[in-house]
Amino acid sequence: MFPDYIQLYFTNHQDLLYGITLILDLSFTILMYRFFGQKGLLACIVLSILLANLQGPKLTVILGMQTSLGVIFYSSIFFATDLLSEKFGKKAADNAVMMGFSISIIILVMLSISLLFLPSTQGNQTFSTEVHQSFVRILDFTPRFIFGSLLAYFISQRFDVWCFHRIKTWTNGKHLWLRNNLSTIASQTIDTSIYSLVVWWGVVDFNTAIQLGLAKMIFKVAIAAFDTPFIYWARSWKIN
């Protein structure tokens, strides 16, 4: 998709690429909100769930730490949920969480069904087989991964909405930065703990599972702090 010189440049500047990807992801979210309001945020939650599931297995090294590319897109779900909470209330955010949970199940079921279809034996069989194997490699989720992902998403997202509005009540609607960061960091901690223990513990030893979780947490906390100006910017718009 990109010219060779761009690919070569970012091959040697992976940290910069990560930052640009994060800025683009948050920018696209607030642009969707700007043009489509509440429906735009719901669409972004669905899109981020899909991207996080597809790119979750892709591991990369940023700032010397191994992390999943899906962390960016998964973290933006919390950003969109917090913006929904701030602008449209707790009920709208809770509905978005339940919709996201339902969509996660549908995505997993339909992608799993797609693996049951055999590659074409007509025409270019080699191409069909290679594409099929690529799909199997990315989409062949284990039951442990499915359970861990869904459980972590459901509990952490429900907690995020509850915590956001609890802090909003305590501060009388002031200090958006506080509720945005604290609710996201707390819920991301829950999410990472559940995911690391359910998905990784037993596959790797306990200490390694914790180390993998801590690396992800560092990025998630940084993203939570980074998205604060974006949520202030979006809150200032008069959108129904």
Q: Write out pLDDT tens, residues 139-195.
A: 766 666 777 778 888 999 999 999 999 999 999 989 999 998 999 889 888 888 887
52 neighbors 73 (Cβ within 8 angstroms): yes
The Cα–Cα gap between 182 and 164 comes to: 8
Question: Is 93 contained in some domain?
Answer: yes
* Dihedral, 173, 94, 35, 168 alpha carbons, nearest 10: 10
Range among 15-24, 143-152, 195-204 rated most confident: 15-24
Give the strand pairing for 65-68 and 59-62.
antiparallel
Q: Write out pLDDT tens, residues 104-113.
A: 888 888 888 8
Percentage of the chain surpassing pLDDT 70?
A: 92
102 is in which domain, residue-wise? 4-235
Domain count for the chain: 1
Res. 209: pLDDT tops 70: no
What confidence category does residue 206 fall into, taking pLDDT thresholds of 50, 70 and 90? Answer: low
Question: Is 240 contained in some domain?
Answer: no
Question: Is 65 contained in some domain?
Answer: yes
Question: Is 51 contained in some domain?
Answer: yes
Which SS3 state, helix, strand or coil, does residue 156 take?
helix
Q: Average pLDDT in the 190-203 region?
A: 75
Position 112, amino acid? S
Q: Write out pLDDT tens, residues 74-96.
A: 788 889 999 999 999 999 999 99
Question: Is 13 contained in some domain?
Answer: yes
The Cα–Cα gap between 56 and 68 comes to: 6
Q: What is the DSSP string of 54-93?
A: HHTT-EEEETTEEEETHHHHHHHHHHHHHHHHHHH-HHHH
Question: Is 168 contained in some domain?
Answer: yes
For 30, the enclosing helix (H) or strand (E) is: helix 14-55
Mean pLDDT of the chain: 85
What confidence category does residue 115 fall into, taking pLDDT thresholds of 50, 70 and 90? Answer: confident
